[in-house]
A and B are shown apart, each in its own frame.
Chain A
Amino acid sequence: GAGVSQSPSNKVTEKGKDVELRCDPISGHTALYWYRQSLGQGLEFLIYFQGNSAPDKSGLPSDRFSAERTGGSVSTLTIQRTQQEDSAVYLCASSKEREPQHFGDGTRLSIL
């Protein structure tokens, strides 16, 4: 069956530009997570959506980062006025409530 799909797989942009990263979760999964993984590091939690509840945004590193989830399915992570320190792999995961997460292959973001 289809897994978690993320697009684009790679994104190169100039410092100061805005970027949008997309995540298509597994159908029927109510929970959706965004993580950031810097080179050689573990996963840094960014934001969590569960059904129709208010998202847990406590991991967003600054107000330049925002995310939304439309119709309880597709999610978009937006980074405004990108900085070089935003360069990383952004991973999305989905799950049924209280079950293990399933990850996409991520978007590799490079800020020049």
Chain B
Amino acid sequence: EDQVTQSPEALRLQEGESSSLNCSYTVSGLRGLFWYRQDPGKGPEFLFTLYSAGEEKEKERLKATLTKKESFLHITAPKPEDSATYLCAVQDHNFNKFYFGSGTKLNVKP
């Protein structure tokens, strides 16, 4: 069965303290891996799509990487405004379904 597991569940960082979030997955034919940011009371906001192992994408302080079994979201020198829940999702070979992890709740303290 297709599964997505994110770790840690919660992460507290000091402003400027770099770290990484993990998303491990098992899927029968990965078509794409997606990272989203979700703020309280809001819907998820799209960040990145990764399609193949070795691919990397960057946006401001965020960098997403992909291997055959997991993806990392690296946060470099985070700021308090980076505080949010980060969700990972995989799209299976049928294109129909997206399987979401439970998310990592990031709190960056000034």
Contact = CB atoms under 8 A, between A and B. Distances in A.
A42 B100 contact: yes
Nearest to A59: B97
Given A42-B87, A105-B41, A100 B100 contact: no
A2 to B, nearest CB: 14
A48 B97 contact: yes
B96 A106 contact: no
A31 to B, nearest CB: 9
Interface in A45-86: 45, 48, 50, 56, 58-59
A101 interface: yes
A45 B41 contact: no
A41 B98 contact: no
B45 to A, nearest CB: 7
A11 interface: no
B44 A33 contact: no
7 contacts: A42-B101, A45-B99, A45-B100, A48-B96, A58-B97, A100-B34, A102-B46
